[in-house]
């Protein structure tokens, strides 16, 4: 027994050592993990995860691969676009690529991601390469400068965390349709494009770009940044003019030289500040899980594409004081914008795909045409700031009429939470209005309305006494009238609303009915069955059916056997009792 015990202890000890060795090898912390390009890319995208949830950025399939400022743009094909004479959008293809291509050894595998930052107005591309047990990443930031309309900027950041130097090649594609000349000792690429659809007008284009090095070496454990700028100018003439080409080239050189005197960080700050100003009026729509429904990503991406097609008048750096005043004056002339039903209708041609430059041009052209025909002409003439406001007004079906604002969205469409921030008011006042549309516990709509200055508001029909608005939100009911009228009226004076009450003729005013639970559940959970997924209810139903089938079969079997079975314990007991007697 002692011998056996000794051998058993040895075997147990050897077994324990073997198990510990296996666990040591399998434990991830016991060795340095291999870093792949997928891991690096995921780390780079970590900064955008939270912003993706609130739809302030679009990733990959939801990215709008387009950067424009209303004067010049870069599309998904890396091609420069200008505005064709008479066109609402940047649809004139130039066959010129202003972007720099970056190349690493082809043997390295690569993972890439596309990002559109809707808040900053820029398009980003991230490329991560697998280098042995490590990886290197290249991040590009591309934007058409909002206040310097001739500039296209490409900032490049190369990160090399490896122990080896990294050889990077740079190149910019050339086009046979472009020719080179050298005015004022600066190389400028120029071309002449004939627009055959406009009675032979000549479009003169001039582009000058930063010099691109053939290759550079990024040392180990280093991070390098580069900035490349292209200045593009356009001039339209009715006939061939000998000096037109030199004029457009000189303008391109002039804008390029000014931009070179400014650091890339200052250019970026100017652009972000102006882009933020363009989005002073914003709109929020709660997320829906229902199939084939409009969500915030569609709204923000479409708005980004729309603002990329219109110049930011009133904010341009080279704009004269008179032009700025004209833009501000048009911005205050709200007119009858917007007349019509809400543009939240989906599916619709207004919300089609933005994956190609042609698709972007088609959708934005339709948006601008719709807004123009619905009474927003003056706002469109004021530039991108006016287009941004008209866009939000169209989502709420909000209309400016004389001295008041109307929100005319149909109460039947209010089954999701909506918020419109900083809606402008007509007239000389600078007051801004916030309108929040909510649902209570019984699925009944109500409004929370506030303003930056003293205003007055009343719900549909204006049959109630006007309430005074302030920075603190005021709760108002959503009512339905017969015939249907706007759900909210906001004015600068109480008297105006009281007079408006007499001008609104309705036969019935009632509180909006509660929405059906199935409709709310469809948006909140993606199905009409409540909080549990559809698969759960299918599984539960299958179990209940199987149980009842089994129960019916069991009862049928017992009925067929009756009391003749010899194994019936009751019969067996009765038989034995009879024999004892």
Query: pLDDT, tens digit, for every residue of 402-448?
Result: 788 999 999 988 989 999 999 888 765 678 999 999 999 899 999 99
224 lies in some domain? yes
Model confidence at 566: pLDDT above 80: no
| pLDDT, mean of residues 169-180 | 82
Q: What is the side-by-side order of every strand in the sheet holding 404-407?
A: 398-401, 404-407, 488-491, 455-459, 467-469
- Residues 382, 406, single domain; the answer is no
What are the tokens at 285? 């729509």
- Residues 111, 155, single domain; the answer is yes
Cβ–Cβ under 8 Å, residues 456 and 469: yes
Q: Residue 142's pLDDT is what?
A: 96
- Residues 179, 291, single domain; the answer is no
Q: Residue 572's pLDDT is what?
A: 52
> In CATH, what number is assigned to the domain containing residue 223?
2.70.98
Cβ–Cβ under 8 Å, residues 406 and 486: yes
| pLDDT, mean of residues 237-243 | 68
Phi, psi of 217 (to 5 degrees): -110, 120
Model confidence at 542: pLDDT above 80: yes
- Residues 283, 308, single domain; the answer is yes
Model confidence at 570: pLDDT above 70: no
161 lies in some domain? yes
Model confidence at 24: pLDDT above 70: no
Host domain of residue 352: 279-396
Count of domains observed in the chain: 5
Average pLDDT, the chain: 84
- Residues 366, 218, single domain; the answer is no
Nearest partner of 336 among 397, 253, 270, judged by Cα: 397
Separation CA 208–CA 189 (nearest Å): 6
273 lies in some domain? no
Residue at token pair 């900027």: 153
Model confidence pLDDT, tens digit, residues 142-171: 999 999 999 999 999 999 888 888 888 998
Cβ–Cβ under 8 Å, residues 337 and 380: no
Q: Residue 31's pLDDT is what?
A: 37
Q: Is 448 helix (H, G, I), strand (E, B) or coil?
A: strand
- Residues 405, 377, single domain; the answer is no
Model confidence at 252: pLDDT above 70: yes
274 lies in some domain? no
557 lies in some domain? yes
pTM of the model: 0.83
360 lies in some domain? yes
Boundary residue ending a domain (396, 420, 438)? 396
% of the chain at pLDDT higher than 90: 42
Separation CA 183–CA 580 (nearest Å): 130
271 lies in some domain? no
Model confidence at 6: pLDDT above 60: no
- Measuring CA to CA, how many Å separate 447 from each of 6, 471, 499? 83, 15, 23
- Residues 110, 233, single domain; the answer is yes
- Residues 331, 309, single domain; the answer is yes
CB atoms within 10 A of CB 434: 18
466 lies in some domain? yes
Res. 519 pLDDT band, cuts 50 70 90: confident
Q: Residue 182's pLDDT is what?
A: 61
- Residues 434, 317, single domain; the answer is no
- Residues 335, 418, single domain; the answer is no
Cβ–Cβ under 8 Å, residues 73 and 144: yes
Separation CA 291–CA 368 (nearest Å): 28
% of the chain at pLDDT higher than 70: 83
- Residues 96, 62, single domain; the answer is yes
N-terminal to C-terminal alpha carbon distance within the chain? 64
Res. 73 pLDDT band, cuts 50 70 90: very high
- Residues 334, 429, single domain; the answer is no
- Measuring CA to CA, how many Å separate 68 from each of 6, 147, 254, 361? 82, 12, 20, 11
Q: Residue 392's pLDDT is what?
A: 94
Phi, psi of 566 (to 5 degrees): -70, -10
């Amino acid at each position: 027994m002692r011998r056996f015990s000794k051998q058993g202890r040895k075997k147990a000890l050897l077994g324990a050592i073997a198990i510990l060795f296996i666990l040591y090898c399998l434990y991830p912390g016991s060795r340095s993990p291999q870093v792949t390009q997928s891991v690096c890319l995921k780390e780079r995208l970590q900064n955008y995860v939270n912003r993706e949830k609130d739809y302030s950025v679009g990733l990959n399939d939801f990215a709008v691969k387009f950067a424009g400022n209303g004067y010049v743009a870069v599309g998904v094909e890396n091609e420069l676009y200008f505005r064709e004479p008479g066109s609402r959008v940047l649809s004139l293809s130039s066959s010129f690529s202003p972007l720099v291509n970056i190349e690493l050894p082809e043997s390295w595998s690569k993972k890439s991601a596309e990002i559109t930052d809707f808040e900053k107005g820029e398009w980003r591309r991230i490329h991560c390469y697998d280098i042995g047990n490590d990886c290197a990443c290249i991040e590009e930031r591309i934007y058409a400068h909002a206040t310097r309309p001739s500039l296209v900027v490409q900032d490049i950041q190369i990160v090399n965390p490896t122990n080896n130097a990294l050889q990077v090649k740079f190149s910019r594609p050339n086009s046979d349709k472009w020719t080179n000349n050298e005015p004022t000792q600066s190389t400028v690429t120029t071309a002449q494009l004939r627009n055959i659809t406009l009675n032979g007008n000549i479009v003169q284009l001039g582009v000058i770009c930063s010099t691109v090095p053939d290759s550079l070496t990024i040392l180990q454990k280093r991070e390098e940044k580069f900035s490349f700028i292209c200045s593009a100018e356009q001039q339209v003439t009715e006939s061939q003019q000998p000096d037109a080409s030199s004029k457009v080239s000189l303008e391109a050189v002039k804008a390029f030289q000014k931009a070179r005197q400014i650091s890339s960080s200052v250019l970026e700050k100017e652009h972000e500040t102006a882009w933020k100003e363009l989005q002073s009026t914003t709109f929020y729509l709660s997320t829906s899980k229902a199939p084939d429904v409009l969500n915030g990503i569609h709204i923000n991406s479409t708005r980004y594409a729309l603002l990329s097609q219109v110049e930011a008048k009133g904010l341009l750096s080279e704009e004269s004081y008179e032009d700025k005043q004209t833009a501000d004056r048009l911005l205050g002339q709200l007119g009858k914008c917007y007349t019509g039903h809400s543009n939240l209708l989906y599916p619709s041609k207004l919300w089609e795909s933005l994956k190609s430059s042609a698709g972007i041009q088609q959708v934005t052209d339709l948006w601008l045409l719709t807004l123009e025909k619905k009474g927003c002409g003056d706002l469109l003439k004021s530039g991108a700031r006016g287009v941004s406001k008209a866009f939000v007004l169209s989502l709420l079906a909000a209309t400016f009429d004389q001295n008041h604002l109307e929100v005319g969205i149909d109460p039947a469409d209010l089954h999701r939470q909506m918020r419109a921030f900083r809606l402008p008011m007509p007239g000389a006042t600078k007051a801004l209005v916030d309108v929040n549309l909510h649902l209570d516990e019984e699925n009944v709509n109500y409004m929370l309305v506030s303003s930056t200055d003293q205003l007055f508001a009343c719900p549909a029909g204006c049959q109630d006494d006007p309430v005074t608005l302030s920075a603190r939100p005021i709760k108002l009911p959503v009512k339905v009238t017969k015939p249907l009228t706007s759900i909210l009226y906001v004015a600068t004076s109480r008297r105006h609303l009281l007079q408006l009450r007499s001008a609104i003729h309705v036969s019935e005013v009632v509180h909006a009915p509660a929405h059906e639970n199935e409709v709310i559940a469809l948006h909140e959970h993606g199905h009409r069955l409540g909080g549990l997924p559809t698969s759960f209810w299918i599984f539960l139903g299958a179990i209940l059916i199987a149980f009842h089938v089994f129960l019916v079969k069991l009862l049928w079997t017992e009925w067929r056997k009756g009391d003749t079975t010899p194994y019936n314990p009751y019969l067996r007991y009765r038989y034995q009792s009879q024999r004892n007697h």
